[in-house]
A and B are shown apart, each in its own frame.
Chain A
Amino acid sequence: EAEVAQSPRYKITEKSQAVAFWCDPISGHATLYWYRQILGQGPELLVQFQDESVVDDSQLPKDRFSAERLKGVDSTLKIQPAELGDSAMYLCASSLAGTTGGETQYFGPGTRLLVL
């Protein structure tokens, strides 16, 4: 069964350093999402791509976060510089077409970030 892949699974970094997370969605899925999940809370949508275009990045802290999906397939989320408050699980999800709000999202295993 096809799955969303994410790497690394765990990342420890010091504040002010740069970090990057990678996501490979299910093949053929046009829509890709990045979420941040703080421990004990629900996921918060950071950015949504439709193919290579950003559909929504209203919750992305653009002063330090950036995301790209250059060829409309895999995606990278970057934080520079990392802050203590960025410690969280970063989840990637994909869905088939993104043409309806009711589509099933398939989630990856996440990258757990710890900023020291």
Chain B
Amino acid sequence: AQTVTQSQPEMSVQEAETVTLSCTYDTSESDYYLFWYKQPPSRQMILVIRQEAYKQQNATENRFSVNFQKAAKSFSLKISDSQLGDAAMYFCAYRSAVNYGQNFVFGPGTRLSVLP
């Protein structure tokens, strides 16, 4: 079974600085998707960024970018120019591209604090 690990339970960053959240995963599949979801306090979880495993180019969405290392099974999230609104729980998630009716796994999360 696939597993997702986030080794940093908590992180903090100074406003306007850059922070990187780590995620590693384990799978025997070659075709899959990786996601970062953000869960602000008392608010809905929203998708931050998505990466398709067959694409070598790292995904970017405005201030958010990923470093996808398929061989190392690593998928880190970089937040540039951090803002107070970035404070939230961040979850890394894996989903099979083939058996997508199954195998959707979330990591335990990293709590990000943004310091003014």
Query: B-contacting residues of A (Cβ < 8 Å)?
Result: 3-4, 33, 40-45, 48, 50, 55-56, 58, 91, 93, 98, 100-102, 104-110
Contacts and interface: CB of A to CB of B under 8 A. Distances in A.
A100 B102 CA distance: 12
A105 B47 contact: yes
A48 B106 contact: no
Given A33-B104, A50-B101, A91-B45, 4 more contacts: A42-B4, A48-B104, A101-B98, A106-B44
Contacts of A33: 104
Given A56-B101, A91-B45, A107-B46, A102 B108 contact: no
Binding site secondary structure of chain A: loop
Interface of B: 4, 32-33, 43-47, 50, 52, 91, 93, 95-98, 100-102, 104-109
A101 B95 contact: yes
Contacts, number: 57
Contact of B108 (A42, A48, A107, A108): A42
Given A41-B109, A44-B106, A58-B102, A101 B46 contact: no
A96 B7 CA distance: 32
Contacts of B101: 48, 50, 55-56, 98
